[in-house]
Amino acid sequence: MNHPPLDSFEPHVRRAVGPIFASPARRRAIRDELLAHLCASYEEELARPGARPGDALESAARRLGDPADLRRQLQRSVPLVERLVFQSLSKEFLMSRWIWILAVFAFFFGPSIVLPALARHRQQGVPWSAVAPLLAIGLAITLAGLGTIVYGTARRLRRHA
């Protein structure tokens, strides 16, 4: 029995499994299963008459398929809750978390400017011209926060779809 060089399969498997949002145990199991599948394919290809090890490696990797398509299929096999938990723990998400915090803060801080201005107008009879700057600032902050949240969510969904 021939033993394929696992190092030559690693980059192919890493491209397919690396970006998956899943628990380390699940990713390790997926990685081991793909490596076992590649090794079996390599053995089959090498068993053919006149097969060379280099050609068998290429053929086994080709039989596995495109790493991007494989990654999408594997990602769909991960339960939604696990995917969301490990996506929120990813380095990319942790690094961009401060933007989300600012966006949510802005979304809730804007009304804290708008509502008191509206109350002053209604209860104390302050003219619109006096509360208009506060309303504009509060609405701008609220809409900026909401826009950032919507943009970030849409971008994330497009990237992981």
> Where is 160: in which H helix or E strand?
none
Q: What percent of the chain has pLDDT over 90?
A: 34
- Report residue 1's pLDDT band, with 50, 70 and 90 as the boundaries: very low
What's the pLDDT tens digit per position in 96-127?
Answer: 677 888 899 999 999 999 999 999 999 999 99
Instruction: Classify residue 34 by its DSSP letter.
Output: H
The Cα 151–Cα 135 span in angstroms is 24
- Tally of helices (H runs) and strands (E runs) in the chain: 7, 0
Does pLDDT of 37 surpass 60?
Answer: yes
DSSP category for residue 51 = -
Per-residue pLDDT for 40 more than 80?
A: yes
Report residue 59 as tokens.
């053929």
pTM, 2 dp: 0.54
Per-residue confidence at 15, pLDDT binned at 50, 70, 90?
confident
- The pLDDT score that the predictor gives to residue 11 is 83
DSSP state of 18: T
Burial class, 92, CB count within 10 angstroms (exposed 0-12 / middle 13-18 / buried 19+)? exposed
Other Cβ atoms closer than 10 A to 5? 10
- Please tell me the predicted confidence (pLDDT) of residue 4: 55
Per the listing, tokens 């992981």 go with 160
Distance from chain centroid for Cα 107: 23
Tokens 């494989």 correspond to what residue?
Answer: 70
Closest C-alpha among 76, 92, 97, 95 to residue 22: 76
Boundaries of every domain in the chain = 6-82, 90-159
Please report the pLDDT score of residue 92 as a whole number.
Answer: 65
Written as six digits, the tokens of 64 are 């596995």
The secondary element (H helix, E strand) that includes residue 105 is: helix 91-124
